[in-house]
Amino acid sequence: MSKTEFTARRAPVQGEHRGRKEGAKPYGSVDWSEHLEAWNAYHRRYPGQSAERIAERGGFSYWEITELLGREPNTWEPRVKP
């Protein structure tokens, strides 16, 4: 597989509404490994949903994933509109 054919798995991240004190963030995505890192913290608190199911439902919100990771996500990228 050539470098141009490689596509890393990514998970969606929900955007945040304006007016939050932390600031608004558009919809985006993070690398699947970072989604799993956040999911592991989430699963310890709220067992039941798989990482795949969270992604199917739109992913974590930006500030939720930040809280779960204990930092802002390193691999977050805004969604590119077609």
Paired tokens of 4: 């141009």
Q: Is residue 36 part of a domain?
A: yes
* 10 contacts 31 by C-beta, under 8 angstroms: yes
Domain that holds residue 57: 9-78
Q: Which residues contact 20 (CB under 8 A, 6 or more apart)?
A: 63
Residue at 45: amino acid letter: R
Q: Is residue 4 part of a domain?
A: no
- State the total domains in the chain: 1
- Per-residue pLDDT of 11-38, as tens digits, reads 999 988 666 556 678 899 999 999 999 9
Q: Is residue 51 part of a domain?
A: yes
Q: How far apart are CA 66 and CA 80, in angstroms?
A: 21
Q: Is residue 52 part of a domain?
A: yes
- Per-residue pLDDT of 33-60, as tens digits, reads 999 999 999 999 999 899 999 999 999 9
Write down the pLDDT at residue 24.
77
* 60 contacts 45 by C-beta, under 8 angstroms: no
Q: Is residue 3 part of a domain?
A: no
Q: Is residue 2 part of a domain?
A: no
